[in-house]
Structure 1
């Protein structure tokens, strides 16, 4: 069974996600034609998103790398990015078991009314597999690694339920949430930061959402022009010639325009599924609300998220250079930065300045954690027979540097079972107060 799962996982998200969505839509009564077209449309939108985010890494990310080399800087640990990290995560029996574990947990929580999230983003269970692999590498305990995957996924369902009302209001997505390993932790980081920002005189009055910026700066505030300017500046700092600078500027502007359009294609495919799910729940479970757990790729096309992400690429490189003790050279995960900040931006109300400041604080912690995590990631890659080429030390900037990953791995080293158990208990209590207790009050 695990071999069959491994084969299916190797097909990748652009294939798995449409199949799951089509099957799910038919179960909900959407009909074969509508379900098939919905799944196919989501697959097309997902491929489009990957192409555009890939362009982000290949253009702006590459220019940032050239900029580092130009100034004679050297860092010893290579960021391999999420595609390699996901392949490493699913490269063992422990890793592939994250899928049946994740599905079982979701069904259990739904049956007992402890979550509103029906997670159909099965491919992204690799985040739990990644954490489990690191815990195993730290503790050499298979049971603790499995227990960590269980606690980690329960935590993500809690974060999905917790963030859903804010995300639905900001993005306008009906009954959709993001229990996504890369994005959900950022939501919890943004909450206390926003509380602090609200209490800083002057800063708390600063309005800097895309609409306000467009009004104040005219054409310079247009998202495409902002992308052009960011691309031109990075190209100049990289020492590109005039032609390359102009090309980078136009390509960055294209990313700002194309990414929202790809998200709209994804939403076109998800709309009939969301409608069918709502009808299904209303008929069979009157009064009960259901969120569809999706890949946070749906959120990265927002104008504020894009603007913050483009600014964070050169800022992340600058942080990597100036932070004492950092060993990580950002590279593979440049295109993942939008996923790290996309659930922070709604908390900040789309305020670009707040989001960039919050992003810098968050990325500072990520760089330090991912540098500490590098030996384990390298060890896990070797255990999965993953070819790391000429690199002697590798890491995954975004996934390997998140506070959520750090908690589980640090706990496995210093307080095995205790930290993991505490996370599980806190998450379950949080889910109870969000769902069961609220349902009792409403009745």
Structure 2
């Protein structure tokens, strides 16, 4: 058991920038790519991951202090520390049964492929920690490891089904054929979808308003560097920075929004050759069945709407954290809320205005879920001694991914202890999930008909 755990830990310690490219290299060789081409694509993918992490880290290190200063100026004291995703991943891997989630994820994926329940091969195994984190939250509510693995397996099934129906939308947004994203953050799309459909009937919101639309309306002010500069300047003003500090923050914001699409092009450069080779291989060996490569969310990072949305949501999130009754978490480490921006991008097809509205409406859900799970997460940290928490405070994650699913299904699993409300909520959630699948399939069909007509 310890040997197996050590092997998995060795793999995880390499990180996504090494682990995922290695899998892609092996896949490239399996589908008969030349070693030189497969190696070049895999290495470029690793460079893209590292580059994206650098730019995201740069933006968070710039925006984060301004956000913290803004809250400090309010004088509000909140007793739940925002540890961000890295702290949650540390806690997830501290669970003694964590390494067992690897074979479960691979097994579920292969079974679904064989039974034609999915066309997605999930190579983003590094993010298996998300399923582990779900499992430990379920244990915190139910006390049952069996229930924890059951909910994690349900999550694996759902993320693959969502990856399938999102594929065409992702292809249109990225221009990368044959890929999708299997990141579980997209599960919250199930909740966002009905709101987005409602906006179809609201005058002014039924128009497509994306980054290109803005460029057509306001010209240079919608250019990435100018837009990033202006938004960051506003944050500096909210934080009561000096003129010098505000201007520095403005240039940093412009830099981040300029670099994101540049780095994102590396994903296309890396993945297009492997996608083409995989497609040709499958056509020869699977009677024309199409397969998709499931990857992490950064393949979408070239969509400017993601970054404009996340930055605009920073002051909104901070204001809500201050004024919402019952919220106890101070957003900091998770202040750049990709957990809402990425799924909102897919649900709206890149409609910037709708993305910001969805983000604003969903932010209280994230804050309240983070507050609700804080005792469970804090107790986990104390039990495992993986993280130190100051006396009198608790630990959580302000932008906890897919909070509705995690909360509902953790309590649905608690039916084993006589709780029934969560089970009823889970049935309602599954109904919304079926509606989302149906709606995205209809959107895919419409895209395909457009392509035939073109």
The TM-score normalised by the length of structure 2 is 0.89
Query: Which residue is 1:323 aligned to?
Result: 324
Change (3 A) 1:108 1:231: same
Question: Matched residues in 2 for 1:186 and 1:56: separation?
Answer: 24
Q: Which residue, out of 59, 83, 86, partners 2:86?
A: 83
Change (3 A) 1:49 1:423: farther
Q: Give the alignment partner of residue 47 of structure 2, picking from 44, 47, 52.
A: 44
Deviation string 1:30-50 (CA, Å, 9 cap, x unpaired) is 132222222111111101101
Is the partner of 2:47 in helix, strand or coil? helix
State the 4+ residue runs in structure 1 displaced beyond 3 angstroms.
415-435
| Counterparts in 2 of 1:417 and 1:112: CA distance versus 1, 3 Å | farther
Superposed displacement of residue 429, structure 1? 8.3
Across the aligned residues of Structure 1 and Structure 2, the Cα RMSD in angstroms comes to 2.6
CA distance in 2, matches of 1:428, 1:69: 40
Contact 2:52 2:260 in 1 (8 A): yes
Contact 2:209 2:353 in 1 (8 A): yes
Relative to structure 1, the CA distance from residue 297 to residue 423 in structure 2 (aligned partners, 3 Å threshold; closer, same or farther) is farther
Partner of 1:329, secondary structure, is coil
Give the distance between the partners of 1:430 and 1:358, measured in 2 at CA: 18
SS at the partner of 1:343?
A: helix
Instruction: Rate the CA distance shift 1:383–1:19 in 2: closer, same or farther, 3 A.
Output: farther
Structure 2 unmatched ranges of 5 or more: 445-454
Give the conservation status (yes or no) of the 8 Å contact 1:148–1:420. Answer: no
Deviation at 1:378, TM superposition (A): 1.3
Between the aligned partners of 2:390 and 2:433, the Cα distance in structure 1 is 44
Residues 122 and 401 of structure 1: is their aligned pair in 2 closer, same or farther, counting only changes over 3 Å? closer
Q: Which moved more, 1:243-252 or 1:424-433?
A: 424-433
Q: Is the 8 A contact 1:90 1:129 kept in 2?
A: yes
State the partner residue of 1:126: 129
Equivalent residue, structure 2, for 1:403: 404
Deviation of 1:82 after TM superposition, in Å, equals 0.8
- Look up the SS of the partner of 1:346 in the other structure: helix
Pick closer, same or farther for the CA change 1:176–1:208 going to 2, 3 Å: same
1:203 positional shift: 3.4
Selected match of 2:183 from 180, 183, 190? 180
**TM-score normalised by the chain length of structure 1:** 0.91
Q: Flag the 1:136–1:310 CA change in 2: closer, same or farther, 3 A.
A: same
CA distance in 1, matches of 2:218, 2:429: 48
Structure 1 residues 221, 163: closer, same or farther in 2, change over 3 A?
A: same
Give 3-state SS (helix, strand or coil) of 1:225's partner.
helix
Aligned pair partner of 1:192 in 187, 191, 194: 194
Tell me what 1:18 maps to. 21
Q: CA 1:339 to 1:279, structure 2 compared with 1: closer, same or farther past 3 Å?
A: farther
Aligned to 2:307: 306
Per-residue deviation, residues 308-350 of structure 1 (Å, max 9, x unmatched):
1110112111111111111111111124x23431231233232
- 1:8-407 pair list within 5 angstroms: 8-182=11-185, 184-205=186-207, 207-335=208-336, 337-390=337-390, 392-399=393-400, 402-407=403-408
**Match for residue 441 of structure 1?**
none
CA distance in 2, matches of 1:267, 1:167: 12
Which of 167-176 and 143-152 deviates more?
Answer: 167-176
Output the CA distance in 2 between the equivalents of 1:249 and 1:189: 34
Q: Deviations over 1:170-220 (max 9, x none)?
A: 3322121112122x1232233211211111234334x52112211221221
Q: 1:301 to 1:388 in 2, by over 3 A?
A: farther
Cα deviations across residues 128-150 of structure 1 (Å, max 9, x unaligned)?
A: 00000111122111111111111
Secondary structure in 1 aligned to 2:343? coil
Q: 1:161 and 1:168 mapped to 2: Cα distance?
A: 12
**Mapped partners of 1:315, 1:425: distance in 2:** 30
What is the CA deviation profile of residues 47-69 of structure 1, one whole-angstrom value per residue up to 9, with x for unaligned ones? 11011111121111221111110
**How far apart, CA to CA, are the structure 1 residues paired with 2:358 and 2:435?**
25
